[in-house]
Amino acid sequence: MSSIKNPSLAGQGKLNIEIAERRMGALLKVRERFAKEQPFKGLTIGMALHVTKETAVLVKTLVAGGAQVAITGCNPLSTQDDVAAALAEEKGVSVWAYKGESKEDYYKYLNEVIATKPHITIDDGCDLVTEIHTKHPDLLARMIGGCEETTTGIIRLKAMERDGALKTPMIAVNDNKTKHLMDNYYGTGQSTFDGILRSTNLLIAGKTVVILGYGSCGKGVAMRAQGLGAQVIVTEVDAFAALQAAMDGHRVLKMEEAAPLGDIFVTVTGDIHVIRFEHMEAMKDGAVLANSGHFDCEIDLDALEKKAKTKRRVRHYLDEYVLPSGKALFVAGEGRLVNLASAEGHPSEVMSLSFCGQALACEYLVKNKGTMPKGVITLPAEVDDVIARMQLVAMGLSIDELTEEQKKYLASWQEGT
Ligand SMILES: NC(=O)c1ccc[n+]([C@@H]2O[C@H](COP(=O)([O-])OP(=O)(O)OC[C@H]3O[C@@H](n4cnc5c(N)ncnc54)[C@H](O)[C@@H]3O)[C@@H](O)[C@H]2O)c1
């Protein structure tokens, strides 16, 4: 049933999955329990997620819990072909994915997953759920619900909810603290530079890095840029986020002011056309543009493609565009998620947290089948607590417990000065 690039890569894929598992102790604990309790027996889980070694650890966890899993990518450039090959050899798994998918194959593969009639979906960006709602609404009756991994997906789900178009419960896994305050922050912070460095091998120290968007991801990217010795400029549209950036010690400017100053530009807004051609014309010769937001529309690449005199690939996922003025600009990762297009996505430790969230969200859907509203749901805070505690154990860390006196004190209001 599977469609992958090269089955002979399976050996390397299995090694990569094994290495990831060593760093994903919390998720392995969930797997151990699922293997005993079989929460997904007789269920099919359809997934559109980045096909990486960490995602494979999640897939194996769901299969251990009794699920049949059908998986495709959620971005044309993020599949690791060795991991896809390894997954194709797993019992209970069908996989359709390769790195560099055409748009046609991307949607064909989403529909292969849909053809397995999933009871539960796991999405990263909401393409699978949108496709089911718009083209296969007949499947919604048998669906228990779905889980969404990223900020952009939640924005789309909330828009569906507002329009009365969302017909199944959807858990906003992104909104777990153990997801957006860890994965988006520490994960995107580090892996965005991993991608930029693999494409450019630039020295970051002494450079000016312009970060568009100071949300969870932007804060993480700014923290790592600063740590690598860059001067950071932030652009924002939200007053509070801009204020936070300023108080974290960054320069806050309008994009038109930042454009001529930056050496490296990173978009992490989840918005469209935050870097436009007018900004590109004002940039320095040699400036690097990268996007770490979900879709490839943050940088107006259509305008750049139309107006550039020449374009050539000069390095690993690094394209040089020469503008009519003669200046060259370099775009990393084709303007898609640079951490996944040019590198391997987030490190395993951080994905262990996010994917514990996915695994426990699937279990929550099964346990609460038929009782949840058809809308966007946040998991109870206790689930976050369980995940954080499991990860602490996996990292060999212990924390204090409240004494009885402290519990009483924190629950009372009578005692003051
Ligand atoms: N690269 C990855 O692996 C990865 C990981 C997690 C999330 N994401 C994606 O990254 C994007 C950002 O996620 P987040 O969790 O940081 O979202 P967020 O909502 O926390 O932050 C986005 C910020 O961008 C700002 N913004 C919006 N439009 C802007 C504009 N025109 N100019 C400047 N700033 C603008 C918003 O005000 C907000 O502060 C989303 O698309 C999300 O799906 C990527």
Tens of pLDDT along the chain (417 residues) come to 899 999 999 999 999 999 999 999 999 999 999 999 999 999 999 999 999 999 999 999 999 999 999 999 999 999 999 999 999 999 999 999 999 999 999 999 999 999 999 999 999 999 999 999 999 999 999 999 999 999 999 999 999 999 999 999 999 999 999 999 999 999 999 999 999 999 999 999 999 999 999 999 999 999 999 999 999 999 999 999 999 999 999 999 999 999 999 999 999 999 999 999 999 999 999 999 999 999 999 999 999 999 999 999 999 999 999 999 999 999 999 999 999 999 999 999 999 999 999 999 999 999 999 999 999 999 999 999 999 999 999 999 999 999 999 999 999 998 888
Q: How far is the CA of 235 from the centre of ligand 1 (A)?
A: 12
Q: How far is the CA of 9 from the centre of ligand 1 (A)?
A: 34
- The answer to whether 197 and 205 are in contact (CB under 8 A) is no
* CATH 3.40.50.1480 is the classification of domain 7-181+346-394: yes
Q: How far is the CA of 270 from the centre of ligand 1 (A)?
A: 4
- Delimiting residues of CATH 3.40.50.720 domain(s) in the chain: 185-341
Query: Tell me, which fold does domain 185-341 have in CATH?
Result: Rossmann fold (3.40.50)
Of residues 389, 400, 399, the one with CA closest to residue 356: 389
Pocket flag, ligand 1, residue 150 (CB < 6 Å): yes
Give residue-wise pLDDT tens across range 258-280. Answer: 999 999 999 999 999 999 999 99
CB atoms within 10 A of CB 407: 11
The closest residue, in CA terms, to atom 39 on ligand 1 is 215
Q: How far is the CA of 163 from the centre of ligand 1 (A)?
A: 23
Best mutation site among 51, 127, 268 for ligand 1 pocket (most ligand atoms within 8 Å of CB) = 268
Pocket flag, ligand 1, residue 294 (CB < 6 Å): yes
- Delimiting residues of CATH 3.40.50.1480 domain(s) in the chain: 7-181+346-394
pTM for the whole structure? 0.96
The closest residue, in CA terms, to atom 19 on ligand 1 is 215
| Per-position b or e across 95-106, b if 16+ CB within 10 A of its CB | bbbbbebeeebb
- The rounded distance, in Å, linking the Cα atoms of 92 and 345 is 25
The closest residue, in CA terms, to atom 3 on ligand 1 is 188
Looking at every residue in the chain, the average pLDDT score rounds to 97
Q: Biggest alpha carbon distance in the chain?
A: 73
The closest residue, in CA terms, to atom 41 on ligand 1 is 270
Q: How far is the CA of 211 from the centre of ligand 1 (A)?
A: 10
> Is residue 408 within a helix (H) or strand (E), and if so which, with residue range?
helix 404-411
- pLDDT attached to residue 396: 94
Q: How far is the CA of 400 from the centre of ligand 1 (A)?
A: 35
- pLDDT attached to residue 415: 80
Instruction: State the helix-helix crossing angle for 25-37 and 53-64, rounded to 10 degrees.
Output: 20
